[in-house]
Structure 1
Amino acid sequence: MTSETHERATEPGRGTRMSGDERREQILGAARRVFAEGGFAATTDEVARAADVSQPYVVRLFGSKRDLFLEAYQQAADRVVGVLTVAAREDDPKEAMGRAYLELIEDRDLLRLLMHGFIASADEQVGRAARHCLGEAYRLYVDATGATPDEARQFVAFGMLLNVLVATDAEAHPGEDPGMDGLLECVALTAHRAAGGA
């Protein structure tokens, strides 16, 4: 019995066996949640517990924690670029890209993981992935909408503001800070307009 087969056969609480690809995706899903919560400081042991596998198995599949973080981060960045790319092909790309980003931020873990990647961008590969994600959002918006550079900058900047508000769980704390309440009201109106509202 190979070590991978043994891992699949001895997992606690699992009624069915998973293929290697399915197990890899399960671990990456756990890694996205764990790194979204704890950033690069999270451990492979925490990821293993979240995925209900052993820590040595995580290391066997992904190598180092850095490699696991990079793969989880790259998946998140690719998802953002992929969703915006599809939206950019719609009849009204400006409206579609705004709506697509608002739908992306519904996945709080995705956005928090992206934020942690910006923080960890001293790592060259993570930094390259982070820069590409931001650059592609800008380029896609310019190419698809014919926007001016300043309009595209505003689109990316507004997206980053939304990321920060999601990461800080700002909407869950109304009344805590008058300035934040005002900012959230302004953002809600702007987001409504970006999504094609009246």
Structure 2
Amino acid sequence: MSAEETSRLSAPERREQILAAAAIVFGERGYAGGTTDAIARQAGVSQAYVVRMFGSKEKLFRASALRAADKVGHAFRDTIATFNGDEDAEQKTLALAAAYTSLVADRGILLTLLHLFALGHDDTLGPLARECFLDTYRIARDEAGLTPEEANAFFARGMLTTVMLAMRLPDDAANPYASELMSCTFGELTTDLITLSQGQVPIDTSGR
């Protein structure tokens, strides 16, 4: 048996470890630039173990993208579960926005989804991109109870949020225009977002 197989981690735990590493690598390098070798180094396992567990880079990327989408969905559902039925649309969207931005510390989640959406033209990954996006939209519509117009506004701001975080705009918070844009977009969450973004974990130098 390999060292990975004889370690104390269970197979599901090892799978999560590899997917967390994949989010970091794919998030920074994208699908084309990410390799199973870099992901294995980031996870501290052998490349052979990664390939044996997932089969191919494409299957690993799919699993990583689904993990990212699932984390957003779970964050939304956990928030929706706290609603008592008296919230208006603004209260709902603010709560959902806070749930989304709470994921910022795991930069790979948001970047992996951005890379997935950019592959909309791909015959294999394009359908997955649309499925993940529309599943999240359905949660906002059917489970949070937003109207199409309310959901549209919420997703528009959410995509702006994702792009701003992808370019690490909080790093330039001292710039008055960056500060102004973040304040308009994030409101009272701005300070928390800057703090969370500072905790984002980059790819390990050994995996570059």
Shorter-chain TM-score bucket reads: 0.7 to 0.9
2:151 maps to: 152
2:196 maps to: none
1:48 maps to: 40
* SS at structure 2 position matched to 1:104: coil
Q: Percent identity?
A: 40
1:79 maps to: 71
Q: CA RMSD in A?
A: 2.4
Give the counterpart letter for 1:37 in structure 2: E
- Any idea what the Cα deviations from partners look like across 1:74-118, whole Å, max 9, x if unmatched? 111111122212322322471432321222234322111111111
Which of 20, 32, 57 is equivalent to 1:29? 20
Gaps of 5+ in 1: 11-15, 193-198
Matched, 1:58 2:54: no
CA distance in 2 between partners of 1:56 and 1:37 (Å)? 22
Matched, 1:18 2:9: yes
* SS at structure 2 position matched to 1:79: helix
CA distance in 2 between partners of 1:81 and 1:124 (Å)? 24
2:186 maps to: 188
Cα separation, partners in 2 of 1:114 and 1:174, compared to 1, 3 Å: same
CA distance in 1 between partners of 2:185 and 2:141 (Å)? 22
* SS at structure 2 position matched to 1:139: helix
1:125-164 → structure 2 map (5 Å cutoff):
125-164=124-163
Cα separation, partners in 2 of 1:148 and 1:26, compared to 1, 3 Å: closer
Give the counterpart letter for 2:13 in structure 1: E
Tell which deviates more after alignment, 54-63 or 92-101. 92-101
2:107 maps to: 108
- Larger relative contact order (Cα-Cα within 8 Å, sequence gap ≥ 6): 2
CA distance in 2 between partners of 1:157 and 1:122 (Å)? 21
Which structure is larger by alpha-carbon Rg, 1 or 2? Answer: 1
1:67 maps to: 59
Give the counterpart letter for 1:142 in structure 2: R
CA distance in 1 between partners of 2:95 and 2:134 (Å)? 18
1:195 maps to: none
TM-score w.r.t. the length of structure 1 is 0.79
- Any idea what the Cα deviations from partners look like across 1:22-68, whole Å, max 9, x if unmatched? 22222112111111111111111101111112212211111111111
Gaps of 5+ in 2: 191-208
CA distance in 2 between partners of 1:115 and 1:84 (Å)? 18
TM-score w.r.t. the length of structure 2 is 0.76
Aligned length: 182
